[in-house]
Amino acid sequence: MDALLALTVGVLVSGAVYLMLSRHLVRFLFGLILLSNAANLVIFASGRTTLALPPLVPDGLEAPAVTVANALPQALILTAIVIGFGLLAFAMVLAYRAYQSLGTVDTDAMRVAEPDVNGAGEAAEEPAPARSEAA
Amino acid sequence: MSWLTVLPILIPLTTAVFAALAWQNLPAQRVIGLIGATALFVLSVVLMVVVWQDGVLAAQMGAWPAPFGITLVVDNLSAAMVVITGITGLAVAVYSIADIGRVEANAGFHPMLHFLLAGVSGAFVTGDIFNLYVWFEVMLIASFALLVVGGGRAQFDGAVKYVALNLFSTVMFLSAVGLLYGMTGTLNLADLHMKVREVENTGLLAAVAVMFLVAFGIKSAVFPLFFWLPASYHTPPVAVSAIFSALLTKVGVYALIRVFTLVFSPEALGEAFDWIQTLLLWIAALTMITGVLGAAAQTEIRRILSFHIISQIGYMIMGLALYTALGIVGAVFYILHHIIVKANLFLVSGVANRLTGSYDLKKIGGLYKSKPFLAVLFLIPAFSLAGFPPLSGFWAKYVLIKAGLEVDAYWIVAAALVVGLLTIFSMTKIWAEAFWKPHPGGDGAIAVTVDRGAMLALTLPIAALALITVAIGLYAEPLLSLAERAAGELMDPAAYVRAVLGAGA
């Protein structure tokens, strides 16, 4: 089981690295999703894979009577999944808005914030959207 | 008194919720924001006083005994960081009255600012490494929203790079936490302090330590992982840039100092610690130098300041890398001084932009002639950043350089001194271009008729922060003894461990 998990993590990470090396923003984000799933599996494997009962305490007892599985890694992964979902959802929307606003998903072509000093980044000279005057 | 440890998180969270309920109601949001920021500041001072008098405070959340539940711990370093969060939070809350208009407010500026403060304070007070990850994420998602507030083209561009690299860093952090848990079976920092010594395979432990180094290194923008910072920090409204420059990278540095004193100590890592220390020294030197050289090449005020954040991070890492009591004192002192100064410089750049119409040094000028008082307020943080006596930056650099000389690390001392000189070059560049030379558009191009109330809201925080800088410079003793006590607790975490795990540990 451990070997299988290690192998899965390895495949996920290598796929993630391949995708993240791309200049295409959406590919990069797909890579990030794979990587965050790999991280979740790392936590799962760190908690050891055991054949044991679920950690339930029977009626009338203070502690489980038999050896039970470690529930903490699952709790950590659950937290990480929820957080990762929120962050990646934001990142996806951001990628879409950036595409709408900048007209490209090629990260090399995104030079608005850091215009080329030699004038290649002329697009950057477009006026910034009007900021509201503060009261 | 242990309930005090919860308040630095609770106050900004409550403020954020109320600010969110007052959506579309700008005046109400401003009042709520001011009240919340003031409350956080007052509470942080109380917390500091209590910790100074009674020692480390710890609270077990949900009454789960320590290492099983989440523990909140406030030692002198955490308390000082929360105070500084309170000060900059309040300064930015006041400044935002004039800087943040309806567009940004409707995009959620006020709630997000306080969520950010909650995340930052949470990261400072938590004593659990997985909880630290959660607070990092709270801080991160709030900073994402703040970065694109208002929705300019450059903001989306900067945000893509900021989001991409910071998400990578959190995944790295999460994997490292998982592996550390696998080796030690605990997540509590105080418990980890004991358990990592039982790990037999120190090589594996060192590998995890380096994963933490990379994850926090991206957060704190050290060489060669800093590229997200100069790409994004100059794009959002100035109030956002100021709070980012003050707190975000420093949370990374704080986390580095925390894990490399409490968890990955020389006792735990053995020989591996030596080369990690050498690695840190190199990182420190290269961060200082690349940051300051990057700044020299820029002509946009905020981009110059962004590169200087990187260069200053190098000094903090230098203090950690020296790993002597005095080195840590220097690092802590440097962080506290730097946050005030850097936030202030960004706030000044916002006023300069408002008066002259641009951030580009080539297009502006004449500020000294029209606003001599503002010029003085710029000079104080600028000279403090460069390390002129008698300002706060002088003492910060002095302690670090003394610490470097003590252990004969001459080349890092030389790097620190040269970078200090180059910092003066950048600051005089801003001075000469923005303040001294006449405005290229003639005197008429400078807007002298900014609304008085707005001008007051803009200048008040700048003046207050400048005053703190001068006060630290003239009377450095209290802050220095605070830094010494914080460093003492870091180098010998017995009090920290006792406060968390009880007297038996």
Residue B137 with chain A: CB contacts under 8 Å: 83, 86-87
Q: pLDDT by residue (tens digit) across B408-458?
A: 889 999 999 999 999 998 899 999 888 888 888 776 667 666 677 888 888
Residue B423, pLDDT score:
92
Q: In terms of CA atoms, which chain B residue is nearest residue A39?
A: B175
Among A124-128, B128-132, B186-190, B477-481, the range scoring the smallest mean pLDDT is: A124-128
Residue B440, pLDDT score:
82
Nearest to B493 by CA among B482, B505, B481: B505
> Is the bond into B8 cis (omega within 30 degrees of 0)?
no
Residue A117, pLDDT score:
63
Nearest to B267 by CA among B452, B465, B2, B491: B491
Contact A113 B179 (CB under 8 A): no
Q: What is the mean pLDDT of chain B?
A: 91
Residue B1, pLDDT score:
61
Contact A128 B148 (CB under 8 A): no
Question: Per-residue pLDDT for A120 more than 50?
Answer: no
Residue B319, pLDDT score:
94
Q: In terms of CA atoms, which chain B residue is nearest residue A70?
A: B185
Question: Per-residue pLDDT for B262 more than 50?
Answer: yes
Residue B360 with chain A: CB contacts under 8 Å: none
Q: Residue B149 has which token pair?
A: 């507030």
Q: pLDDT by residue (tens digit) across B206-236?
A: 999 999 999 999 999 998 899 999 999 999 9
Question: Per-residue pLDDT for B102 more than 80?
Answer: yes
**Closest CA–CA distance from residue B489 to any residue of chain A (Å):** 30
Are B137 and B167 contacting, i.e. CB atoms less than 8 angstroms apart?
no
Residue B104, pLDDT score:
86
Contact A35 B137 (CB under 8 A): no
Domain boundaries, chain A: 2-52+68-110
Q: Point out the residue among A40, A112, A133 whose CB comes nearest to the CB of B101.
A: A133
Please report how many Cα atoms fall inside a 13 Å half-sphere around the Cα of residue B473, on the Cβ side: 23
Question: Per-residue pLDDT for A135 more than 60?
Answer: no
Residue B150, pLDDT score:
82
Residue B482, pLDDT score:
93
Tell me the C-alpha distance between B342 and B380, whole Å: 11
Name every residue whose Cβ is closer than 8 Å to that of residue B55 and which is 6 or more positions away in sequence: B495, B499
Q: Which residue would you say has higher pLDDT here, B156 or A65?
A: B156
Q: Point out the residue among B140, B157, B163 whose CB comes nearest to the CB of A113.
A: B157
Name every residue whose Cβ is closer than 8 Å to that of residue B362 and which is 6 or more positions away in sequence: B299, B433, B440
Tell me the C-alpha distance between B462 and B341, whole Å: 10
Contact B134 A36 (CB under 8 A): no
Q: Residue B199 has which token pair?
A: 């790990």
Q: pLDDT by residue (tens digit) across B293-322?
A: 999 888 889 999 999 999 999 999 999 999
Contact A134 B164 (CB under 8 A): no
Question: Per-residue pLDDT for A105 more than 60?
Answer: yes
Confidence of residue A124 (pLDDT cuts 50, 70, 90): very low
Q: Residue B298 has which token pair?
A: 């820029």
For the domain A2-52+68-110, what is the CATH code? 1.10.287.3510
**Dihedral over alpha carbons B290, B158, B12, B122 (to 10 degrees):** -50
Confidence of residue A123 (pLDDT cuts 50, 70, 90): very low
Residue B505, pLDDT score:
54
Cα B153 → chain centroid: 26
Residue A62, pLDDT score:
81
Q: Looking at this predicted complex, what is its ipTM?
A: 0.86
Domain boundaries, chain B: 2-501
Q: pLDDT by residue (tens digit) across B366-390?
A: 888 888 888 999 999 999 998 888 8
**Closest CA–CA distance from residue A54 to any residue of chain B (Å):** 18
Q: Which residue would you say has higher pLDDT here, B64 or B95?
A: B95
Please report how many Cα atoms fall inside a 13 Å half-sphere around the Cα of residue B118, on the Cβ side: 24
Q: Residue B269 has which token pair?
A: 């890592």
